[in-house]
Structure 1
Amino acid sequence: MSIEIMGLLLILLIYLVISQWFLKRKLHIKEVRKSILSGYRKKRYVYTEFLLFILLFVSTFYMIEDLGAFSFLPLFMFFLLTNVLRGIEEWIENRSEKGYYHDWLSSVAFLIIIIFLLIV
């Protein structure tokens, strides 16, 4: 296996151990599932997430030739920013349940993946 695949699998394994074993089982923090179409979300978060999706589409469409080997960057940045936004939303709306830890852990995992792939 190449070093990229091994590194990504190691990052995924560390993320799963922290998320599933530590946050869910040890700290009993439930993960809150959200989507852009969830009915209970406030409009400002939905609009911001929709704007991020539009920016992903535009950046992928216009910059795909310029990015070359870094064509993964817009998609991973979208996932990173979406998880940060959802973490902030959960932190503001339901701070006591601490579900934002899962979103922020996902953001950190995507940031580490981006940095790893840019270095390697």
Structure 2
Amino acid sequence: MGLGTTILGLVIIFVFQLLISEYFVRRLDIKRTKIGVFSKGRKKGFIAVEIILMVLFIISLYALFDYFLYSVSLSMTMYFTLTYLFRGIEEWVYKKENKDYFHEWLASITSLIMFLFFIGDMTLN
């Protein structure tokens, strides 16, 4: 498959994710709230986990850059997948009534699917 097919596949996955997210907002009335590393009201344990993930991401970029062709995409995907997964767990544990964790877990699953699609497409060439 060519680069155009890969990009088209990734766009289709991304559009599918946006449609599911819009379904969460409109039909299930689950509002999306933005949270960052140092957002107000976050638990210190989850902030520490996110900082550790960020440090591991930066270390993995430097350590694997020369040895593995897909290290940048692998590191970024694992960073985003785990970050959104842990944010979803935090929302599920502490703010279960808001149901924001659905958006976080959807983002985690989408980034993992996009990575698997990309790697699968690259191995076919």
User: Common fold, TM-score beyond 0.5?
Assistant: yes
Is residue 42 of structure 1 aligned with residue 43 of structure 2?
Answer: yes
Match of 2:75 in 1: 74
Q: What secondary structure, in the 3-state scheme, does the structure 2 residue paired with 1:28 have?
A: coil
Matching residue of 1:57: 58
Equivalent residue for 1:9, pick from 8, 11, 22: 11
Q: Deviation above 6 Å: which 4+ runs of structure 1? A: none
Q: 2:6 and 2:57 mapped to 1: Cα distance?
A: 24
Distance of 2:75 and 2:46 partners within structure 1: 20
Q: Distance in 1 between matches of 2:82 and 2:54?
A: 10
- Which 10-residue stretch deviates more, 98-107 or 1-10? 1-10
TM-score w.r.t. the length of structure 1 is: 0.95
What is the percentage of aligned positions where both structures have the same residue?
A: 33
CA offset at residue 97 of structure 1? 1.4
Contact 2:61-2:71 at 8 Å conserved across structures: no
> 1:71 is aligned with what amino acid?
V
- 1:1-56 CA-partner distances (Å, limit 9, x unpaired): 61110011000110000002x10011110112110011210100000000000000
Q: CA RMSD in A?
A: 1.1
For this pair of structures, how many residues does the alignment match?
119
Counterparts of 2:79 and 2:70 in 1: how far apart (Å)? 17
Q: TM-score normalized by structure 2?
A: 0.91
Unaligned runs of 5+ in 1: none
Q: Distance in 2 between matches of 1:75 and 1:85?
A: 15
Output the CA distance in 1 between the equivalents of 2:20 and 2:40: 29
The DSSP-based 3-state class of the residue aligned with 1:27 is coil
